[in-house]
Amino acid sequence: MAILLTILFLPLAGAFLLMLVNKKEAKVIQYTALAISLATFVISFSLMAHFDSNNPNFQFIVNIEWIKQFDAGFRIGVDGMSLLLVMLTAFIAPITILSSFSAIEKRQKEYYVMILILQFAMTGVFISLDIFLFYIFWEIILIPMYFIIGIWGGKDRLYATVKFFIFTVVGSLFMLVAIVWLGSYVGGTVLHNDAGFTTNFMVIQHALDNQPIPLDIQKWIFLAFALSFCIKVPLFPFHTWLPDAHTEAPTPGSVVLAAVLLKMGTYGLIRFNLDLFPQASFYYAPIISTLAVVGIVYGALVAMVQTDMKRLVAYSSVSHLGFVVLGIFSMTVEGIQGGIIQMVNHGLSTGMLFLLVGMIYERRHTRDIAEFGGIARVMPAFTVFFSIAMFASVGLPGLNGFVGEFLTLFGAFNSPFLNNWSYTIVATSGVIFAAVYLLWMFQRVMFGANTNPQNHALKDISKREWALLVPMVVFIVWIGVYPSTFMKVSENSTKALVNKLYEKKFGYKPYALPASTQQKANIKN
Amino acid sequence: MGIELQYLLPIITISFFVVTAIVFDALLQNKIFSFVWSIIGLIVVIGTASYTFVIPSLELMNLSKEGLITKNMVFFGGYASFFDIVFAGAGLMTILASRVYIKREYKELNEYYSLILITVSGMMLIGHSNNLLILFIGIEIMSISFYVLAGYFRNSIKSIEASLKYFLLGSFATGFLVYGIALLYGATGSLDLNIITSNLIAGKFNHIYFLLGSGLILIGLSFKVAAFPFHQWAPDVYQGSPTVASGFMSSAGKAAAMIAFIIVFKHILPAVNNPVLIKDTHLIQNIIAVLAACTMLLGNFTALAQTNVKRMLAYSSVAHAGYLLIGIASNNSTGWTGVLFYSVAYILMQLGAFIVLSVIERNEQSNLELSDFAGLSRSHPILAALMAVFMLSLAGIPPFAGFFGKYYLFVSAVKADYVWLTIVAVISSIISMYYYIGIILQMYFKDPRSVALEADYGLARIPLFIAVAGLVIFGVFPSLLADVAYYFF
Amino acid sequence: MTLEYIPLVFMLVFGFGIATVFMYLSEILGAKRSTKEKNTTYESGMTPFKTARDRFSVKFYLVAMLFLVFDIEIVFMYPWAVQFKQLGSTGFIAMMLFIVLLLSGYIYVIKKGALKWD
């Protein structure tokens, strides 16, 4: 449908438009980019309005023939799980662009082109219904991100960006092998279609539902996909690129990296690993959950000893994403829904923290915690916003973080797949650690005596910065107080997935879905 | 007979232009004439080849193959016409990019353009061959012109070294090729590839000679594509030769040798239920697969250690021979079509990258170190962007054509149950990322060096534009090319 | 099938055998008288006046190669002339093509000065 195509291609069109503008017209470039991303955000509301949350299947499906020989098509569509992430992307993009006005000073034209291409590809990742298309969007993201970190990043940007690139590529190329194998298996061995190959997601989903891949092979395919996603998330032993990339990226780059890019990994885990390889998921769930729990604790502990604020927030991401993965691999409705809402939360609260750290960095050109103290006196509004973001991140009831963390922990606690309380118990300690490192940092930066003379005359936040932070606070509070606006969207899609998992493992479907929508979507193409 | 001449038109026109170009070289001293004449020639060849592409095939015309002048030694239409267009196009791009480079770096000589024409004619003959002798003649016409092209800068020691090395090793490999052809003839009783196939299927062949002959042909052709372990000449030759010419050699020359690979191995490895033959087929396929794996790994690992961009691209071209060999090892139509697609993409990106090098090269190969590229995006943003596109495409990052070519080859390998080969290919791709993005890193993230590079495009703008446009168009809409290539095999 | 090769085997055995035997017979039975003339390089009876291991002009090679090209042409011309009537127009066209190609090569060679000695 036209809405989805508009949301996808408007940023790309914008990028081409910007290429035509003279690079000296910095203001024109900035406001054009902002206008385009805002327009996309506004249009994305009509997506929300037309979305039928009773229907667990894909909606707004567009299916255009593309490469006949491999049955790869331009197939896009959203269901409840991806819709929230599409909205998140559309929401974060204007924030990113607005925050770039001050953060990016050189080569502006290239920068805004890159950001818009990035938005195009991120949206594409979440709405692809064709694995080949998904892979293409997944890889395209590398190019703008590589440049954003490499050109506009901090001191060690070269190291960080190459590390980011190589880590991601290692994962994604193995995923490519798995995609090729999957396409050849489903198209050739299962369906015997004309091409002997298919990457149509819904066809593969349906085919594997009836005829799962033999378990010993399924495990390898699962691992190939999971490796790529876990590097992106990042799950515990694969996380080392993240602190470097986050720290060295420019503020908007960090925001978009934390808010959206990491979600691609967790989204992939739900969309592909759980859905297509359920048997292997049961097999690997304890291992991945263990890694997630280790990540929660490890990320928190390492965050505690950081002296650089941005690095601290980066490590807190490792910890927070651990909750998401734990929720996903609990394979319960609470866990997965909690995971999805936690993805959005993390995007909002960590994105906001990065913005705030960026603001103070622009004023002082340092992020060293020891350089600060008593900021609350000179920047009261800043301190308030910081505290909101921090409490959201810690998981204070009434703010969004609590909803997500509670649900994921609840899901993991109740999960018949994990069947073990200890994950939850250890993971809960991560919440406490989060309180420790964030509050400690807050105290050291905001309170105490303002002894450093350079901190005496800091300006409080400007109007533009208000415009950045207020929308985020709105959503943070909204999700915290009334999460069901968002939970409702993904509820039925999640239930359908969980039904499938329960049926494969225990032979029954625990949830009844609205009757009219139970039949399979049109999977002809 | 008249109809057959229509099919032969591309060959006839290229021969005509080759001969006339040589005569004009001798008679006229005006270089611009030779340049224009070769361009006209190649455009006419592209036109005639497009014409043979659209007229109905020989089978549809109901012509008996025995009645032909060419006695069924030459193949018409289909992939042959396709490659006529590709090779002539590559020659055209090379010639357009060469003029400013040759004029600047050395004294311009007439023979350069006619040599490119001769090379193109040899490549086209390879594509048209339906008989091992024609194939051999095509390969030799191409190779001998390459030996001369490599040594074209006769005052440069490196160029002469490249030429001599290429000639000695090349003629050595030719020996293997001829010996292999002879043994294959002995084993199957024919030089006609179709008869060889039918004899093989009928079981009328000598087992040991067949294996020996195919093995020797494999060695000979591996040398021509610079596959492991016959790749040692490639870096020195590609580095020493004139930059544009080595771009042409390493892209179109490689593609032509890959066509030879397809033509030979498609016919001597038929898919039939003859138990002896199947065993042999699998053996040869496995050998090719191992060669492909070693070539990819070795090429990429060695490229990693290079600081000279030209030499790095030379090693990367070794690695790409490995990727292309995947399609041969798979021995199915997806593989051959994949080789076709990847050859086109590879010609565009490799030739493009070498043309970029030729634009900034000065005084016999200076300005080609990796550090010379530092900050290129500041001084020459367009050139840097072009180079970045070529590098990303060589690395196999979507949405450029290089990615889809790799995807094609991976699919063919998985279809042929060579999953391990795909994994090796993926690992070597990961290795290659490091040096490809290393160039981008230099161009975009490093500060410019003190003395800014000069860039002197001349007519090289046209081939650069063609290359980038082709890579993007075939990358986003691969069907445009893949659907055409699909019906050939 | 193997029987067909027996004459070949005989030929090889006898060929090698006779050559070897005669070589060694002459070595054993022949007279050995070494004189100064006998030890000099053989140059068709002329007295050698300097060492044979000397560089000489590349033009010799060039001429030798060109000679080969125009020499080989006779290999095609002669049978064509003998079979002129039987080969008919096809043969005529083919031969004309061949001669034109050769002629253009000849023009190139002359114009490039490959046959000039100085």
pLDDT tens digits, one per residue of B111-136: 888 899 999 999 999 999 989 999 99
Residue A334 lies inside a defined structural domain of this protein: yes
Q: What does the pLDDT average to over A131-153?
A: 91
Taking the C-alpha atoms of residue B324 and residue B337, their distance in angstroms, rounded to an integer, is: 11
Residue A425 lies inside a defined structural domain of this protein: yes
Q: Is B10 in contact with B120 (CB distance < 8 Å)?
A: no
B58: confidence class by pLDDT, cuts 50, 70, 90:
low
At CB < 8 A and 24+ separation, what contacts does A139-143 make?
A: A139/A172, A139/B397, A139/B398, A139/B403, A140/B397, A140/B398, A140/B399, A141/A261, A141/A264, A142/A168, A142/A169, A142/B397, A143/A117, A143/B392, A143/B397
Q: Where are the beta strands (DSSP E) in A237-360?
A: none
Using a CB-CB distance cutoff of 8 angstroms, which residues of chain C are in contact with residue B19? 100-101, 104
Q: Shortest CB distance from B26 goes to which of C100, C101, C108?
A: C108
Taking the C-alpha atoms of residue B13 and residue B7, their distance in angstroms, rounded to an integer, is: 11
Taking the C-alpha atoms of residue A4 and residue A249, their distance in angstroms, rounded to an integer, is: 30
Q: Do B25 and C108 touch (CB under 8 A)?
A: yes
B405: confidence class by pLDDT, cuts 50, 70, 90:
very high
Q: Do B26 and C101 touch (CB under 8 A)?
A: no
Per-residue model confidence (pLDDT) at position A518: 44
Q: What does the pLDDT average to over B426-437?
A: 91
Helix H or strand E encompassing B272: none
Q: Is A76 in contact with A128 (CB distance < 8 Å)?
A: yes
Per-residue model confidence (pLDDT) at position A15: 92
Whole-Å CA distances, A383 to A92, A118, B235: 22, 31, 61
Q: Is B323 in contact with B296 (CB distance < 8 Å)?
A: yes
Q: Is A198 in contact with A186 (CB distance < 8 Å)?
A: yes
Q: Each residue of C26-55: b (16+ CB within 10 Å) or e?
A: eeeeeeeeeeeeeeeeeeeeeeeeeeeeee
Taking the C-alpha atoms of residue A468 and residue A466, their distance in angstroms, rounded to an integer, is: 5
pLDDT at A524 over 50: no
Residue B387, min C-alpha distance to chain A (Å):
14
Residue B252, min C-alpha distance to chain A (Å):
26
Q: Is B357 in contact with B243 (CB distance < 8 Å)?
A: yes
- Report the SS3 class of residue A60: strand
Per-residue model confidence (pLDDT) at position B108: 60
Q: How many CB pairs under 8 A join B and C?
A: 19
Contacting partners of chain B (3+ CB pairs under 8 A): A, C
Cis peptide before B270 (omega within 30 of 0): no
Q: What does the pLDDT average to over A414-418?
A: 85
Per-residue model confidence (pLDDT) at position B107: 65
Taking the C-alpha atoms of residue C19 and residue B478, their distance in angstroms, rounded to an integer, is: 68
Per-position DSSP letters for C33-95, written without gaps between them: ---HHHHSPPSTTPPP-S-S-----THHHHHHHHHHHHHHHHHHHHHHHHTHHHHHHHHHHHH
Q: What does the pLDDT average to over B395-414?
A: 91
Establish if C116 touches chain B: CB-CB under 8 angstroms.
no
Mean pLDDT computed over every residue of chain A: 88
Q: Between A215-232 and A278-304, two packed helices, what is the crossing angle to 10 degrees?
A: 30
Which is more confidently placed, A204 or B1? A204
pLDDT tens digits for B330-367? Answer: 988 889 999 999 999 999 999 999 999 988 887 767 77
Per-residue model confidence (pLDDT) at position B182: 94
Q: Do A139 and B479 touch (CB under 8 A)?
A: no
Q: Is B129 in contact with B53 (CB distance < 8 Å)?
A: no
Which one is the CATH code of C2-111: 1.10.3470, 1.20.58, 3.40.50, 3.30.110?
1.20.58
Q: Shortest CB distance from B441 goes to which of A140, A150, A169?
A: A150
Q: Which residues are CB-contacts of A225 (< 8 A; sequence separation ≥ 6)?
A: A175, A178, A268, A272, A273, A277
Q: Is B116 in contact with B35 (CB distance < 8 Å)?
A: no
Q: Shortest CB distance from A151 goes to which of B411, B445, B483?
A: B445
Using a CB-CB distance cutoff of 8 angstroms, which residues of chain A are in contact with residue B337? 69
Whole-Å CA distances, C46 to B226, C34, C36, C53: 52, 19, 14, 17
Cis peptide before A380 (omega within 30 of 0): no
Q: Is B436 in contact with B392 (CB distance < 8 Å)?
A: yes
Q: How many domains does chain A have?
A: 1
Greatest CA separation found in chain A?
A: 74
Q: Do B26 and C112 touch (CB under 8 A)?
A: yes
Tokens for A121, please give them: 């590809």
Residue B438, min C-alpha distance to chain C (Å):
47
Greatest CA separation found in chain C?
A: 66
Mean pLDDT computed over every residue of chain B: 88
Q: Do A143 and B433 touch (CB under 8 A)?
A: no
pLDDT tens digits for C35-57? Answer: 877 777 777 777 777 777 778 78
DSSP 8-state secondary structure symbol assigned to residue A331: T
pLDDT tens digits for A318-331? Answer: 999 999 999 999 99
Structural domain boundaries enclosing A407? 288-511
pLDDT at B467 over 60: yes
pLDDT at A515 over 60: no
Taking the C-alpha atoms of residue B131 and residue B79, their distance in angstroms, rounded to an integer, is: 16
Tell which of B371, B415, B486 to mutate to test the A interface (max A CBs under 10 Å).
B415
pLDDT tens digits for A450-484? Answer: 777 777 778 888 888 888 899 999 999 999 888 88
Closest-CA residue of C relative to B25 is: C108
Which is more confidently placed, B64 or B179? B179
Q: How many CB pairs under 8 A join A and B?
A: 83
Taking the C-alpha atoms of residue A452 and residue A445, their distance in angstroms, rounded to an integer, is: 11
Using a CB-CB distance cutoff of 8 angstroms, which residues of chain B are in contact with residue C112? 26
Tell which of A22, A125, A184 to mutate to test the B interface (max B CBs under 10 Å).
A184
Look at chain A and count its residues: 525
Tell which of B15, B22, B118, B121 to mutate to test the C interface (max C CBs under 10 Å).
B22
Residue B413, min C-alpha distance to chain A (Å):
9
Using a CB-CB distance cutoff of 8 angstroms, which residues of chain C are in contact with residue B23? 104, 107-108
Q: What does the pLDDT average to over A300-314?
A: 90
Residue A93 lies inside a defined structural domain of this protein: no
Closest-CA residue of B relative to A155 is: B445
Per-position DSSP letters for B345-372, written without gaps between them: HHHHHHHHHHHHHHHH-BTTTBT-BGGG
Tell which of A133, A169, A198, A217 to mutate to test the B interface (max B CBs under 10 Å).
A169
Taking the C-alpha atoms of residue B223 and residue B232, their distance in angstroms, rounded to an integer, is: 9
C3: confidence class by pLDDT, cuts 50, 70, 90:
confident
